[in-house]
Amino acid sequence: MVDCRYCERSFTEEGTLREHLYETHDREELSRIDRKRVEQYVDEHGLDESDINADTDDNQSNQREQQTVDTSDGGYHADRWERSDVEALSTDDIVDKLTNHGIETNETAFRNRAKNLNSATTLSEQWEADYEVAATGFDQDFIWMAAQELWKRWASEVPNKERIYDFVQEGRDLRENGDRAEACDRWLTAWEYILAVIPDDSTTIEAADQTTPTFLSLEAFIRSLDSDLATVAEDDPTYHEHRLDFCREVCETFPDANDELLLDFRHFVADSLNELNRTADSRTEFELLIEEYPEDPWAYKKLADSYWIEESDELSIETVERTADLYRTALDVDKPLEGASMVADRLEEIERRLTDSKGADHHGAEKS
């Protein structure tokens, strides 16, 4: 997967990115490596350099399509670098080929660059800026692919944006094959990399999205991961702990996120604590939610449930009365409560119990 750094698009193939850069972006806004990508696209398709960024008519478009088809039978695909090609090379072969293109590197030098960066593509652009690079044609692709591969071999402990894609995709493949727990493990690793590459001052999802790979919608990713962690935890309770840690990190990392997201993940924290039988901690979280989000009916309902469903036979009259008050408030706040009829039935049951209890106390007092 290759990202366009100038807009919100990602491409599975380098050739598609080159076409996109040629068709969509002004030459002036492109980096040196991306200008070379455009030049390569122009050479491949026999285009005039002056056509860059110009509006093309249908005849031009059709001509390009025909030229693309025609070149596919020649050396175009045969000479093209894919990541799998670079992965198959030995480290010495990669370094030798970089040297042939004018780039001098070794493990120490590479690690010194990588430790201050969060992207292998950025590292390859540094090479482009620091050396007289003699790469032409598809060998220009080799340079950034080599940076990615050497990062994996020489600086694997240093997170970078490109590896986020790898972990997310591996998780998707595992999930499709029915291994949801392993998928969650891969996605949690991707989450660790995300935390490492976003700036410390990115306190909202929107700000963090500006620094993560464009293929990834961060809010969609974290909501999906939470949902899968909850599902896996139904069969493997250890994942309640993973979910708890993850949801806390989301809340701590994005304290200025929108209220809907923060409220949801605060609930997920309290739910996870409850599943881990940390009832007192869970109730504390619900009490805080009631204080901070007084119009949220679910905090009242869940806190009441923690008393009535878990300990109804052991509750004092005072706690039963508090439970009834919580259910009443859950029904009375403006925000609608799903399953309100069930809560109303439960409240009616509690009120009958309170009436019976008070009647019994009164009868006992008369007898004495």
In terms of CATH architecture, what is 162-367? Alpha Horseshoe (1.25)
What single string gives the DSSP state of each residue in 298-318? HHHHHHHHHHHHHHGGG--HH
pLDDT given for residue 16 in this prediction: 80
Structure confidence at residue 25 (pLDDT) = 85
For the chain, what is the radius of gyration of the CA atoms?
Answer: 30
List the structure tokens of 265: 């993940």
**Which pLDDT does position 36 carry in this prediction?**
63
Helix (H, G, I), strand (E, B) or coil at 340: helix
Residue listed under structure tokens 């970089």: 98
* Residue spans per domain, the chain: 2-78, 83-157, 162-367
| CA-to-CA dists, residue 322 to 87, 327, 342, 354, 357, angstroms | 64, 9, 18, 11, 15
Q: How far apart are CA 302 and CA 183, in angstroms?
A: 30
Two structure tokens written together for 306: 């923690």
pLDDT of residue 66: 35
Residues 6+ apart with CB under 8 A from 280: none
Cα separation, 269 vs 246, whole angstroms: 9
Mean pLDDT by 10 residues, the chain (368 residues): 69 75 78 68 64 41 35 41 93 97 97 94 94 86 94 94 91 96 97 93 93 86 97 97 98 96 98 96 97 96 89 79 95 92 93 77 49
**How far is 332 from 360, CA to CA, in rounded Å?**
30
Q: Can you list the positions of beta strands (E) in the chain?
A: 2-3, 10-11
Q: How far is CA 78 from the centre of its chain?
A: 35
